[in-house]
Chain A
Amino acid sequence: MRSLPTTARVYVCVVVAIGLALCAAAVAHTTASWRDFLVLAVLFWVADSAYVDTRLKFFSVSTGFPLALSAVLLLDPWAAGALCMVGAITYAKARPWFKRLFNGSQMAISAFLSGLLYSALPGAPGAGFTDARFPDCLPAVLVAGVAFFVLNNFFVAYVIKLSAGVSLLSVWWGGFGELAFSTFGYGMIGLIMAVLWTGGVGPVAALLVLAPLLIARWAFQQYGEQHKAYEATVASLIRAVETKDYYTRGHSERVAKASVMLAEQLGMREDRLEMLHYAGMLHDVGKLGVPTKLLQKTGPLDDAEFDSIKLHPTRGVEMVNGIAFLSEAMLGIRHHHERVDGLGYPDGLAGEQIPEFARIIAVADAFDSMTSTRSYRSARSVTAAIDELKRWAGTQFDTRMVNALVEAVEARGWDANVEPTEEVIDPSVLVIRDHDDPAGEIAAFGPTPYQRSPYYDDVQAQVS
């Protein structure tokens, strides 16, 4: 609770106070039978405890919503509200108490309000759903369901807005559509449950209703686990690949991280961010096709050698094009050495022709390369690397991407890799053409005075 800003704390307290007051008033006002209330409350508790991490940024899907909706349909608004409170304050020990209390309260208020709305709508069957006629009652049920969902979501989104300092829109953007679809779809189970409950099947209906819900939950969970396994596997295989070159250890992971930071600054959608993460992870996988002796070579590279290094983006795509899921990532891998002035490789694309992913990775790649130690030089500071990126914005890099990375690094900092600096670096060991370093890059195309970076001169000076 202390971790929340004052406004959020006040908001949470107000919602909880209203929720508790509602429950107290419910005892006096409700007309629902205790038996129905208790059975539904137990079911709601069971279902609601089984919430799932959907990998959406701000939400987890609770399987309790359908049962809460059926409570709205079967009980009066007071009882439905109280039921949500009872269910929510006892579940999921993993969450802090104030979150549970807030969740229970906001659900209670949402259930109560949508229950009031529902009973006022034309076509709504009387209390207990006993004289439900199809399809006459469907519009009222749907409206109540939508109201419940929207209220519930508004309360949650607002607390996120206050505590995380993001706008309501960006909260909803992070997966609201998918959530609305699934919550509302499963809400239909609440309707079916209400129909069967009053149709004579009674509480047995609830058991039948729980089966598909729990199976769906299981599938979501499996997905989540498999997804984690996938990330771990890709990461460690990439690490295995990087063992070939001591100095690029961790490079792929850091490029992935920097690319995602940059893209978040641009407001990229969640699913594309994930794809970009993989593109960053795999961008140099084609280097495996480059003979180890070239990658570890300590002297200057001749043209033929540099040409074979230049093949690595294409090689990389060849290697991963069996992975259908990575379609957009392939473009990022293939073109991450293109330059906005058209002097890059392999296709010499320029400006907007270069796929967005590639323009992002190019910046992240150079940034990490400059802030890491290489066999021929020690790491540059983050500020120096940023200056260098800015210098090359518009010729080598997309200015928009450079600005986004600079903003992201300034806002969130950058944990540069300086691990290998403890090693003794032999100053006589120099590679002039580092394929990721903007200064090294330029050498491949015959530097002209205006393109030559000041750092390039440093390198030259050291050689002589």
Chain B
Amino acid sequence: MTTHASLSANTLVRRFVVTVVSVGCVVALGFTLARGVVRPDVVAAFVGLIAVGELLQVRLPGDRPAAPIAASAAVGYALLFAVGGQPVSQPIAQVACVVALGVAVGSAVQLLAGRRPRSAVVARRVVAAIVAGLVFRATAPRNLATLRVSQYKEDLRWVALLMVAVVALTGIVDLALAAFVRSSGRRVAFGWMLRDEIGAGAGLWAAVGATGVLMALATPSMKLYALPIFCVPLLLTQFAFRRFAAIRTTYRQTIRSLSRVAEVGGYVEAGHAHRVSSLAVAVGREMGLSESEITNLEYAALLHDIGQLSLTDPIPGGSTLVVAPVERRRVAELGADVIKTTGVLDRVADIVARQADPYRRHREAPDESLPIESRIIKAVSAYDDLVGESQGPETTADALERLRLGMAYEYDPAVVETLTRIVAA
């Protein structure tokens, strides 16, 4: 699956974004050094804060790494206009350099610690700071960069509102970039991905943006003492997100472990649930399922044979393919009943319940209400039953051929096609 054509297109887009940002930063560094650095003490403080922030990451749903402290500091520096009552007017090139430097230091430390930072995610941080800085500079009153704070104190509320607007715009640009990178080279509509991205990241962006604005507004009176004070509540928000991420991980690990109950009990061939789920998720991603659909698909795939526990005697070999359709449907329904009792996995139960339904019946149009996740699991599970643990090219080809023969009624042709592409790669 690693050398799949469309996946590598996606990698190309990622590399392109990273290269453009890196080249831009090098040019910006040249400018900054040539013109002289404005307020090196402030630069040092922000580079430090961004670097530390990079190390403190949280993982949002859907495998999205986020570094709220680094992101807030980057936005804060882009909007910064005064420190301790004195105006500070750093050019946008310097903003780019400071954020890039902070991000680079943080990433280097991560590399040393053996973690691989994601270059596209890191590049987005720099882009967001540049966007915020540019828009703010284009719209803010001219004299902001020259007057002392006390001279325009009454107008600060308007500056604050302007900053809020700038940050909101930056957030949209950032999430759009993320959606672009994720969707490019895949069969997913950009608009679709953007909605997914906004659903997952808008909340944290609001917190990050608001904190960036607060930082820029507070440094005029609090000087650089503002930075450590701001870190405390952000760290706590981070802590809350981390606990959230941890329980999600535990949930997933538990479903994975408990999916093996049917295997340990001798009902299903060992490793079947795990193989089906990873292949089903790959198919689902290729077919452009949203993050929440992918999660449901994964859980349903892991638990699709749990209904076999309710059978008194294991089906020989555990394969649901060799038994009568009626029996298969019974296993599916028993499994769905078990899953439904959790009270929180209703969607997963629906998917499992319909995993044995054929794509379409004789002389009928395909059933519209049959969930795509069920169709994926049906095909992938059958494929795994046919192939088993032997992954030789011949068994693979045979298995795919059998699925293709069943395409007219049993299996969804689109799913079988995608599966074929993934397995062939």
Contacts and interface: CB of A to CB of B under 8 A. Distances in A.
Given A182-B236, A188-B229, A196-B218, A239 B341 contact: yes
B204 A192 contact: no
Contacts of A120: none
B234 A212 contact: yes
A220 B256 CA distance: 25
A202 B157 contact: yes
Contacts of B253: 322-325
Contacts of B345: 233
A229 B251 contact: yes
Contact of B154 (A200, A241, A292): A200
Interface in B229-280: 229-230, 232-237, 239-241, 243-244, 246-251, 253-258, 260-261, 264-266
A230 B250 contact: yes
A98 B230 CA distance: 36
Given A134-B221, A204-B157, A288-B264, A191 B229 contact: yes
A195 interface: yes
A288 B265 contact: yes
A227 interface: yes
Contacts of B84: 134
Interface residues of A, number: 65
B343 interface: yes
A234 B254 contact: yes
Nearest to B206: A211
A134 B223 contact: yes
Contact of B344 (A138, A181, A204, A233): A233
Contact of B237 (A219, A288, A324): A219
Given A195-B222, A243-B310, A319 B261 contact: yes
Given A215-B206, A232-B342, A199 B153 contact: yes
B214 interface: yes
A201 B217 contact: yes
Contacts of B157: 200-202, 204
B254 A230 contact: yes
B176 to A, nearest CB: 21
B96 interface: no
Contact of B251 (A202, A209, A230): A230
Interface in A101-148: 132, 134-135, 138
Given A134-B225, A200-B156, A289 B255 contact: no
Contacts of A226: 244, 247-248, 251
Contacts of B341: 236, 239-240
A395 B287 CA distance: 61
A363 B249 CA distance: 31
Given A219-B240, A240-B338, A192 B247 contact: no
A237 B338 contact: yes
A315 B266 CA distance: 13
B189 interface: no
A97 interface: no
Given A185-B232, A236-B342, 18 more contacts: A182-B239, A186-B236, A200-B149, A205-B217, A209-B214, A211-B206, A212-B234, A215-B204, A219-B244, A228-B344, A232-B344, A235-B342, A285-B258, A289-B264, A323-B253, A324-B253, A325-B246, A325-B249
Closest 7 CB pairs of A and B: A200-B156, A211-B210, A219-B240, A215-B207, A200-B153, A229-B344, A236-B341
30 contacts: A132-B221, A134-B221, A189-B233, A191-B229, A195-B218, A199-B156, A199-B220, A204-B160, A204-B161, A208-B164, A212-B211, A213-B233, A216-B236, A216-B240, A219-B243, A223-B240, A226-B244, A226-B248, A233-B251, A233-B344, A233-B345, A237-B338, A239-B338, A243-B310, A315-B264, A320-B254, A321-B257, A323-B253, A323-B254, A324-B250
Interface of B: 84, 149, 153-157, 160-161, 164, 203-204, 206-207, 209-211, 213-214, 217-218, 220-223, 225-226, 229-230, 232-237, 239-241, 243-244, 246-251, 253-258, 260-261, 264-266, 306, 309-310, 312, 338-339, 341-345
